[in-house]
């Protein structure tokens, strides 16, 4: 389907796009879409949804390479191609008897912010880490944690995490490893980021080895119980 950009905000490293869909969609937290650029429709890449209301999807894009740069250069009224919703909603994969601290690194915060909006009763607290304060130009949140102002976000996590809480994490591989090392006995769900081709389980391009055999991050994830994953990629 298609969507028209109705609002764009941009900082040095990130951009936020609000996109009005031309058709109905029902997308739940943790699901993602494949976006393709209007001039390069053959190439598409996965992006989570930070909000969905009244037919408007909000994307939060980290500008890391060619595709994300092209996205950040789009203007209001430009049309995007959107395939989705894809992936399994977080709610279908987590233990609903626990309350969670949501931990996001950079654009990993995206799906968690939408999760908190839809399931506030499952959330104990939130912690969204960004490297530098330039993010404040386009995005403010009460749980924003800026590394250069406040140090290591995992030290802060120590102070808010309660015995009974689980963790839902989405962020860099480095933070993922640090979290697993620090809390080996906690219930931790990790949203995995893999390069994706089709986004729907066809190309077998996003495998992850689990206790239940080889799974595809796009079709069976992106969220996995950390105890289920056998190989963590660097």
Among 13, 21, 29, 47, binds ligand FAD (CB under 6 A): 47
What is the DSSP code string of 60-89?
EEE--SHHHHHHHT--TT-EEEEEEEES--
Q: Confirm whether residue 170 is marked as ligand binding.
A: no
Among 17, 32, 223, 226, binds ligand FAD (CB under 6 A): 32
Q: Rule CB under 6 A: is residue 216 a binding residue for ligand FES?
A: yes
Q: Give the C-alpha separation, 167 to 169, whole Å.
A: 6
Q: Give the C-alpha separation, 42 to 53, whole Å.
A: 28
Q: Rule CB under 6 A: is residue 48 a binding residue for ligand FAD?
A: yes
Among 198, 209, 228, 232, binds ligand FES (CB under 6 A): 198
Q: Cβ 210 to ligand FAD, closest distance in Å? A: 16
Q: Strand 56-62 relative to strand 207-210: parallel, antiparallel, unpaired?
A: unpaired
Vertex 56 angle, CA 108 and 3, to 5°: 95
202 binds, among ligand FAD, ligand FES, none (CB under 5 to 8 A by kind): ligand FES
Encode burial over 124-150: b for 16+ CB neighbours within 10 A, e otherwise.
bbbbbbbeeeebeebbeeebbbbeeee
Residues 4-33 that bind ligand FES (CB under 6 A): none
Q: Cβ 173 to ligand FAD, closest distance in Å? A: 9
Q: Give the C-alpha separation, 50 to 93, whole Å.
A: 19
Q: Rule CB under 6 A: is residue 192 a binding residue for ligand FES?
A: no
Q: Which residue numbers belong to the known binding site for [2Fe-2S] cluster? A: 198, 203, 206, 218
Q: Which residue numbers belong to the known binding site? A: 198, 203, 206, 218
For binding to ligand FES (CB under 6 A), which residues are involved? 196-199, 201-206, 216, 218
């Amino acid at each position: 389907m298609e969507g028209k950009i109705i609002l764009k905000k941009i900082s040095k490293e990130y951009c936020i796009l609000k996109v009005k869909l031309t058709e109905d969609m029902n997308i739940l937290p943790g699901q993602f879409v494949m976006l393709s650029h209007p001039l390069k429709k053959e190439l598409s890449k996965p992006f989570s949804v930070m909000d969905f209301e009244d037919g408007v999807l909000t994307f939060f894009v980290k500008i890391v390479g060619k595709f994300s740069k092209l996205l950040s250069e789009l203007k209001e009224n430009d049309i995007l191609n959107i395939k989705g919703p894809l992936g399994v909603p977080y709610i279908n994969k987590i233990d609903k008897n626990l309350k969670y601290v949501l931990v996001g690194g950079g654009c990993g915060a995206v799906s968690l912010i939408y999760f908190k909006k839809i399931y506030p009763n499952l959330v104990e607290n939130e912690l969204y880490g960004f490297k530098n304060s330039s993010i404040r130009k386009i995005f403010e949140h009460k749980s924003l944690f800026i590394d250069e102002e406040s140090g290591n976000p995992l030290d802060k996590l120590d102070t808010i995490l309660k015995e009974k809480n689980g963790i839902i994490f989405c962020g860099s591989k480095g933070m993922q490893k640090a979290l697993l090392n620090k809390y080996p006995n906690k219930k931790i769900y990790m949203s995995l980021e893999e390069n994706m081709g089709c986004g729907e389980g066809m190309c077998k391009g996003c495998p992850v080895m689990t206790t239940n055999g080889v799974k595809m991050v796009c079709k069976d994830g992106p969220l996995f119980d950390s105890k289920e994953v056998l190989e963590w990629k660097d």
